[in-house]
Amino acid sequence: MPPEPLRVLITNDDGYLAPGIRALAPVIAGLGYEVLVVAPLNDESGVGSARAGMLDRPIRSESDSENGVTYTGIDGTPALAVTLATVGAFGRAPDLVLSGINRGANIGVPIFHSGTVAAAVTAAGQNTSAVAVSIDSEDPGHWETAATVAGEALGWIAPEPAGTVLTINVPDRPLAELAGVRHASLAPIERSRIIGATAPTGEPMINLEAPRPDPVPNTDEALLTAGFVTVTPLVGLRALPDDTAANTLAKRLTR
Residue 34 forms part of a structural domain? yes
Cβ neighbors of 247 (< 8 A, separation 6 or more) are none
Q: Over range 92-97, report the average pLDDT.
A: 96
Asked if residue 28 has pLDDT above 70, the reply is yes
Asked if residue 57 has pLDDT above 90, the reply is no
What pLDDT, in 10s, does the model give residues 4-19? Answer: 899 999 999 999 999 9
- Alpha carbons 184 and 160: distance in angstroms, whole number: 19
Residue 172 forms part of a structural domain? yes
- Residue 101: asked if its preceding bond is cis (omega within 30°), the reply is yes
Domain CATH number, residue 37: 3.40.1210.10
Cβ neighbors of 149 (< 8 A, separation 6 or more) are 133, 168, 170, 181, 229
Residue 169 forms part of a structural domain? yes
- Alpha carbons 75 and 224: distance in angstroms, whole number: 33
Integer angstrom CA distances of residue 181 from 93, 142, 177? 31, 17, 12
Q: How confident is the model at residue 206 (pLDDT cuts 50, 70, 90)?
A: confident
**Domain range for residue 158?**
7-187+214-253
Please report, rounded to a whole number, the percentage of residues in the chain having pLDDT higher than 70.
Answer: 80
Amino acid at 105: A
Q: How confident is the model at residue 20 (pLDDT cuts 50, 70, 90)?
A: very high
Report pLDDT for 242: 61
Report pLDDT for 144: 98
Asked if residue 84 has pLDDT above 80, the reply is yes
Residue 193 forms part of a structural domain? no
Residue 192 forms part of a structural domain? no
Q: How confident is the model at residue 201 (pLDDT cuts 50, 70, 90)?
A: confident
What pLDDT, in 10s, does the model give residues 150-186? Answer: 999 999 999 988 999 999 999 999 999 999 999 999 9
Asked if residue 126 has pLDDT above 70, the reply is yes
DSSP bridge pairs for 37: 10, 71
Alpha carbon 81 to chain centroid distance?
A: 13
Total number of residues shown for the chain: 255
Residue 157 forms part of a structural domain? yes
Residue 198 forms part of a structural domain? no
What's the domain count of the chain?
A: 1
Mean model confidence pLDDT for the chain: 86
Residue 164 forms part of a structural domain? yes
